[in-house]
Chains A and B, each alone.
Chain A
Amino acid sequence: MEVAYYPGCTLKTHAKEFEKAALKAYRAIGIELKELDKWYCCGTVYSLAKDNIMYKVASVRNILNAQKEGFDCLIVLCSMCYNTLKQAQEFIKDESNLARIKAFMDEEEYKGIEILHGLELLKDKMEEIKKAVKKPLNRKYAAYYGCTLLRPKSVAIDSYEKPSIMERLIEALGGIAVEWPLKNECCGSYNIITNKEIVVERVRHIIENARQRGAEAIVTSCPLCYFNLKECQKDVKRIYPGFEEMPLYYYTELMNEAFNGKFDKGENNNGS
């Protein structure tokens, strides 16, 4: 099965391994992620100001373009891009909003397109996933959703207080999903640019909580959460010397590990 796929800027650079692993993992269960011909930066994060049209142009343009390329379903892997595009879609469901914003682009009519996150595609594919597993993971993982996958309610891919998609994926891959309360707690997001100390505190809080519940690794879907959690661990260690580092995975990397029997990291690119 072939689906249209929107990568977003980060997946092509910082989070290359996320995409590489995704293409391989989805292919293994029969889904071909076909990248859109033309796509633009989604303009994360979604602008909440009611009167701010310009900040929404980038996202809307992507949606209309995907439709122009003939797709009626669009898969997004980056959680932040997913959140932004989905909220933009809610925005243009209102006819008057659509009319105002179309004035700024060449794209045509909006007929409606389904925007899904990569994890949603896997909801009904648990059997295929189980079949594709060569070596069960056998480790305790904490599924970390962050905020963008579950909030606001209009974009949530699962229950925003008790999500279970990633847990079911982990179990299907042979791992043990750990129950922990901070699975949907914000990592600090873009504060990493301005107030790194805040993110450091958040990261420590999240990792310690996961560890307390027995997790041996954290699984995530958002490149920024991944980056924050990875980058700040050294800072946490500096401030709290007893802190032990916690390994981090993208969920697609986990899928590959289970499917291929070894961990396929791919290139780890820190350049921009």
Chain B
Amino acid sequence: MLLEKVEEISGENLYACYQCGRCTAGCPMTGEMDLMPNQIILAILRNDESVLDAKTPWVCAQCYQCGVRCPKNVDIAKIMEALREIKLRSNVNYIDLKKINKSYPQIAIVAAMRKFTG
């Protein structure tokens, strides 16, 4: 089930979330997201698999602003990683390696490869 997998990969207790919305309020990427971070958590708690098709985890920049502000100490960045891993581990790449602009700094390329490839 989705919730179990996410809890296992992230190590976070999603039930602690009481939907206060502070993570979303602080997240810099919400403008590009279809589902907000706290909505993602709610969807996972309801085992709603459609959350795996959301744009949100792929836009997350792992800036940790959510986890550092959460009043229940839930690290939402880890939950986003878990969602990405679930998709990537089924041998799917989010980006096409051939299309990467190689003139960009290594840290960007390495990071993108780690986050977006299976």
- The answer to A–B direct touch (Cβ < 8 A) is yes
A residues whose Cβ falls under 8 Å from a Cβ of B: 8-10, 13-15, 41, 43-45, 47-52, 55, 78, 80-81, 147, 151-153, 160, 184-186, 188-195, 198, 201-202, 223-224, 227, 270-272
B contact residues vs A (CB 8 Å cutoff):
8-11, 28-29, 31-32, 58-59, 61-65, 67-68, 75, 77-78, 80-82, 85, 94-95, 100-112, 114-116
Q: How far is the CA of A52 from the CA of B118 in the complex (A)?
A: 12
Check B106 against A48 for contact (C-beta < 8 Å): no
B112 in contact with A194 (CB, 8 Å): yes
B-chain residues with CB within 8 Å of residue A44 when the two chains form the complex? 107, 110-111, 114
Is B8 in contact with A50, judged by CB distance below 8 angstroms?
Answer: yes
Set of chain A residues within 8 Å of B75, measured between Cβ atoms = 48, 152
Contact yes or no, B9 A50, CB < 8 A: yes
A47 B68 Cβ-Cβ under 8 A: no
| B95–A193 CB distance below 8 A | yes
A185 to B115, CA, bound (A): 20
Instruction: State A271–B62 Cα separation when bound (angstroms).
Output: 27
Could you tell me the distance in whole angstroms from the C-beta of B118 to the nearest C-beta in chain A?
Answer: 12
The total of Cβ contacts below 8 Å across the A-B interface reads: 134
Contact A147:B104 (CB < 8 A) given known A190-B112, A193-B109:
no
User: How far, in angstroms, from A78 to B61 measured CA to CA in the complex?
Assistant: 17
| CA gap between A9 and B29 in the complex, in Å | 27
Q: From B82, which residue of chain A is reached at the shortest CB distance?
A: A49
Please give me the residue from chain A that is nearest to B102 by CB atom.
Answer: A272
A184-B65, A201-B31 known; 6 new pairs, CB 8 Å cut-off, are A9-B110, A10-B107, A50-B9, A188-B29, A190-B61, A194-B112
**B8 cross-chain contacts in A, Cβ below 8 A:** 50-51
What residues on B are CB-neighbors of A188 within 8 Å?
Answer: 28-29, 61
Chain B: which residue is nearest A191 at the CB level?
B61
Q: State whether B62 touches A193 (Cβ < 8 A).
A: no
Chain A residues lying within 8 Å of B78, measured Cβ to Cβ, are: 48-50
For the complex of A and B, 5 pairs with smallest distance between CB atoms: A186-B63, A151-B64, A147-B63, A190-B111, A48-B81
Interface contact B11-A50, CB-CB below 8 Å? yes
CA distance A22 to B29 in the complex (A): 32
Contacts of B10 in A (CB 8 A): 48-50
Bound-state Cα–Cα, A13 to B110, Å = 14
Are A190 and B108 in contact (CB-based, < 8 A)? yes
Known: A194-B95, A198-B29. A43 touches B61 (CB 8 A): no
Asked if residues A49 and B9 are in contact (CB atoms below 8 Å), the reply is yes
Contact A190 B106 (CB under 8 A): no
Are A223 and B115 closer than 8 Å at their CB atoms? Answer: no
Contact of A153 among B31, B68, B114 (CB under 8 A): B68
What residues of chain A lie closer than 8 Å to B109, measured between beta carbons?
Answer: 193
Q: Are A224 and B61 also in contact (CB < 8 A) when A49-B9, A190-B112 are?
A: no
B-side contacts of A14, CB under 8 Å: 104-106
The answer to whether B107 and A224 have CB atoms under 8 Å apart is yes
